[in-house]
Chain A
């Protein structure tokens, strides 16, 4: 489904150039649940951002279903982020001004014009409610994010990521901000989704959490050491 070939990425910090990724080759097949582990600063989040087209590599190719992401126009990249991938972040990253339900259907709303949204809003709201029900949040639809616990917020973030039925779910330390019980609940959700056919790439620094995935990739100093 997604493949990287010789990915390089570096950042400039003042006068110093920090090499983050140094020739990463990675292939993830459809339906896989892959965990990328590594110490802080090993480049795992950067790799995830590049896979989700939130960032571009300095060198190398990312191919999604055979198409090179480097050849995508800005509009195509936006559509790719909207339709093909769903992000789950460590700090949930929900919009505080919107309700839980609105946060979940936001990706669908963002992909439509006013007329398009008015035509499909019923179905979109139904789908968002279904997702919230699956995630055990149907009673929380009208709440604001600040009224929810950390685990509930992360489940809302999962719901938002799944709203447009993306091919690929990218999770960046999804349990990093949660206690172990709540974190396990989120991992249960991801496992369940994977069993239903969802491709997932998850970044974590915790080997115990990584073991819940089908495959573990270890990143050390910007290079894949073990897969």
Chain B
């Protein structure tokens, strides 16, 4: 009990302790704010990738695609662990607006909008057809025209003045006047062997599409380079509509209670069985390149960069933690050097070395706990208001943490996670204990006779 009493009094009465508490509080504040924002950005980015992909993708990286996708799609949809599956065509195309000869090389994705919305978050990314996805490819101004959905930034890239404009806060202004212009989409159709299907004729397949909607997935690369078209038209453009039709991938959504890894393993088993069944069929060799990937594996190249940044920041803040340890070590050396007389007194009344160490470690953990609590509370308050603060800074000084016209970031993530908070508080206490351990051990080893000598006073 005396340890609690003395540690508390040291904490209150020794002003140098306030510096230690302040150092811990500042570290906890910085780590909480940065980790919350960074973790939020990574989680948000992962969620957007998840919504874009669905849970799992069965597909091939080749532009040729694979055959019998309809049979495979049917088998997958009948599986008890799968909620929906959507076959897609993926390729590259030359996209040219009708008012200019200049076009852009973009990616096209042929989808059935209803199926794709069931397997992925596609429907939620639309602006005009969010509530009637089945009409996603029907232009609002004339539904019988052939429509396409542009990534929200594609219109700007194509130089369309009526395309949605990004506001400084990261949202989009959609023009009241609907854009009635069109684009021509040209693809090089490929044979099942991967050769240009019309090479001898020197022809490409071209279709004209009107803008029916914009898709805002929140993924900069997707929103800036993807054009969604109806499945059948994309299949024709890519030359995959022969007697043996082909597709590039099937996006799958699992039932809610299905674990991602388990679901992917089950899909892999179904695919293997399917490949065996089709082994003797025509063009069955195209199935050899078909693999199963979870959404994380499928989008690995994009997610990994973000995760690497998160790891780097964690390492950097590990170094901040080490600095805290040294601050605590110095502060405790100073405190203990001023308290050697007290240690002598305590030993003269029978306090053991272990109890002296416990007393100072208890003192250190109090510094850690109070510092971390103050820092965490301050961090939480700051995070609650971070978007308002940024807004104010932007309005008055033109400062933004991220330039929203460049980065696909909306509000700054500010949801404090309990695990992050617990880890920060525990780390602060451990850092304080680590910093105080050596001085505490030295304090315990002090010879009481020497510390109580008149010459030492």
Contact = CB atoms under 8 A, between A and B. Distances in A.
Q: Which 3 pairs across A and B sit closest by C-beta, in order of nearness?
A: A82-B350, A97-B9, A117-B1
A54 B449 contact: yes
B94 to A, nearest CB: 79
Contacts of A180: none
Interface in A91-120: 91, 93-98, 102, 106-107, 109-114, 117-118
B350 A89 contact: no
Contacts of A112: 1
Interface stretch (A71-79, A127-135, A195-203, A212-220): A71-79
Contacts of A95: 6, 342, 345
Contact of B348 (A54, A75, A90, A102): A54
Contacts of B75: none
Given A90-B454, A118-B1, A110 B349 contact: yes
B33 to A, nearest CB: 35
Given A91-B457, A98-B9, A102-B5, A78 B448 contact: no
A39 to B, nearest CB: 15
A20 B347 CA distance: 23
Contacts of B448: 54
B1 A114 contact: yes
B1 A93 contact: no
Name, among B344, B345, B348, the residue most crowded by chain A CB atoms within 10 Å (CB to CB): B348
A110 B348 contact: no
Interface string A48-60: 0100101100000
Contact of B10 (A74, A78, A94, A97): A97
Contacts of B342: 95
A75 B355 CA distance: 11
B6 A98 contact: yes
B348 A81 contact: yes
Contacts of B2: 106, 109-110, 117
Given A54-B449, A98-B5, A106-B2, 17 more contacts: A75-B352, A78-B352, A80-B350, A81-B348, A81-B350, A82-B350, A90-B454, A94-B345, A95-B342, A95-B345, A98-B6, A98-B9, A107-B350, A109-B5, A110-B2, A110-B349, A114-B1
Nearest to B453: A45
B350 A78 contact: yes
B203 interface: no
B454 A49 contact: no
Given A98-B5, A102-B5, A109-B5, A91 B349 contact: no
B232 to A, nearest CB: 78
Interface string B235-261: 000000000000000000000000000
Contacts of B396: none
A73 B323 CA distance: 40
B13 interface: yes
Name, among B9, B10, B347, B350, the residue most crowded by chain A CB atoms within 10 Å (CB to CB): B350
A55 B353 CA distance: 15
